[in-house]
Structure 1
């Protein structure tokens, strides 16, 4: 069993969080059970987080800040902690994604992570990460916070129609996910286009990819692999993929027609039995 006394606060964001939590708790003269009672959790959970056996959540962090008067310390730390739970090879991309002012993405099979519901994300991540799905889902939800900023990045999503038809997590999960897409379709800085199956061959057939643009840094191209990601700022690649993305946008349905298609699929394919009976 790990002991908090042996934690090296410089080893990782999670180690620092646990070390700092214990330091702040003891400075306030509280034991684990007392702090747990104040923030409506068990003392055992506090102890598990202090010894890095459990990854904290944003809600836990905000409760600790309120209880200990730590001026948002743990609410700031939690972003680093959750980002550290992402696969090592994906973390550099996540850091750049958080700095981007414009994100363009083509998604071939799945809804883009930034606009996934928690239930959809859990169904996807549970396939390969069943042992730490909770941490992975929390990390994905944390990534989405960039869309809630005062000045969020502009996000343009071209989503293959196949992603609407592939039932992930069951009918209710899919209905909730498509409803989320419809919610984002009215957001001022988000555009969603569906690439219909009838479009045939297209410039995204190489697979899912993202383009990131920044205020001052060079543009970046990113493409997922099975256990690694490929990211480059090569001007030739950026030029080629930007042109390819423009062609994808031209081949896709308009945002308005995309809303109509999403609505139709949601109602016809993922309608609840009750709503079907009412027709």
Structure 2
């Protein structure tokens, strides 16, 4: 049976997307199964998206645009829909992240979000989010990464603790793919990755991860998180302190070239095929 739940288009971006999908599908005189066949998905999925029970992907949206000749409407809407799947407290940061011209971050425990593979992100996001729509959460994180493919992407300089490479998230295959992804990303001239080695001892990043955002037309920001929510401030004193700490962390880290070699070595020695056969 077709989903016929009525939506309030003003309730959320997801509701608006669903109501527009239904409206344009009906204008095209297609039922849900017929549109699903054109999109290479089930009519049930079309119905779930039309009733805001399922979050659409960017691929689905592009196929809808092609099938219904919408002029790119759903490809534009899906960005808003996926952004709305981010935690409310995180959305202001994501908006500023997308505007930044220079992002520098220290990550003590996990791979930086903009450099995560979907599989790694799923493990991280699912660790304490039982019952949530993980597909939607992962899609939202991948949507954030689209800033890396802009014509003029931000310069991103990432320093990560060596511990991040050894923390086995999701198993060896996921970690091997994640570390391989880091090496591929480092080939982009605007992405730099350094590893803070275990041998550095006590360092300026001991209090935890943080991110610095720099802009052309906005005040610089420093962002931190605790286990409840994130904290973003444009306070100049806080930004100066973050910048100073970041400089000290960078100075204690391996060079970009040596960091790439360490990532490759850990990938082969810890997560390679020979390790699996041992």
Whole-angstrom CA distance in 2 between matches of 1:276 and 1:115? 29
Match of 2:272 in 1: 271
TM-score by length of 2: 0.96
SS in 2 for 1:6: coil
**In the TM superposition, what is the alpha-carbon distance from 1:273 to its structure 2 partner?**
3.7
Query: Within the alignment, does 1:75 sit opposite 2:101 as a pair?
Result: no
Number of aligned residues: 275
Matches within 5 A, 1:215-230: 215-230=216-231
Match of 1:58 in 2: 58
Whole-angstrom CA distance in 1 between matches of 2:11 and 2:228? 24
**In the TM superposition, what is the alpha-carbon distance from 1:275 to its structure 2 partner?**
8.4
Match of 2:173 in 1: 172
Change (3 A) 1:129 1:212: same
**In the TM superposition, what is the alpha-carbon distance from 1:6 to its structure 2 partner?**
3.1
Match of 2:102 in 1: 102
Match of 1:23 in 2: 23
Whole-angstrom CA distance in 1 between matches of 2:268 and 2:40? 40
Match of 2:199 in 1: 198
Indicate if the aligned counterparts of 1:172 and 1:272 stay in contact, CA closer than 8 A: no
TM-score by length of 1: 0.95
Whole-angstrom CA distance in 2 between matches of 1:148 and 1:98? 12
Indicate if the aligned counterparts of 2:98 and 2:147 stay in contact, CA closer than 8 A: yes
Indicate if the aligned counterparts of 1:107 and 1:209 stay in contact, CA closer than 8 A: yes
Matches within 5 A, 1:69-218: 69-131=69-131, 132-218=133-219
Change (3 A) 1:4 1:84: farther
Whole-angstrom CA distance in 2 between matches of 1:175 and 1:44? 36
Whole-angstrom CA distance in 1 between matches of 2:31 and 2:128? 37
**In the TM superposition, what is the alpha-carbon distance from 1:4 to its structure 2 partner?**
5.5
Whole-angstrom CA distance in 1 between matches of 2:119 and 2:5? 37
Match of 1:260 in 2: 261
Whole-angstrom CA distance in 2 between matches of 1:273 and 1:205? 34
Whole-angstrom CA distance in 1 between matches of 2:203 and 2:20? 52
Whole-angstrom CA distance in 2 between matches of 1:139 and 1:21? 20
**Structure 1 unmatched ranges of 5 or more:** none
**CA deviation map 1:55-103 (0-9, x unaligned):** 1111110000000011111011111101111111111111111111111
**In the TM superposition, what is the alpha-carbon distance from 1:238 to its structure 2 partner?**
0.6
SS in 2 for 1:92: helix
Measured on the aligned residues, the alpha-carbon RMSD in Å equals 1.4
SS in 1 for 2:192: strand
Match of 1:11 in 2: 11
Whole-angstrom CA distance in 2 between matches of 1:8 and 1:226? 34
**In the TM superposition, what is the alpha-carbon distance from 1:247 to its structure 2 partner?**
1.1
Whole-angstrom CA distance in 1 between matches of 2:4 and 2:256? 52
Indicate if the aligned counterparts of 1:4 and 1:18 stay in contact, CA closer than 8 A: no
**In the TM superposition, what is the alpha-carbon distance from 1:219 to its structure 2 partner?**
0.5
**Structure 2 unmatched ranges of 5 or more:** none
Whole-angstrom CA distance in 2 between matches of 1:210 and 1:32? 44
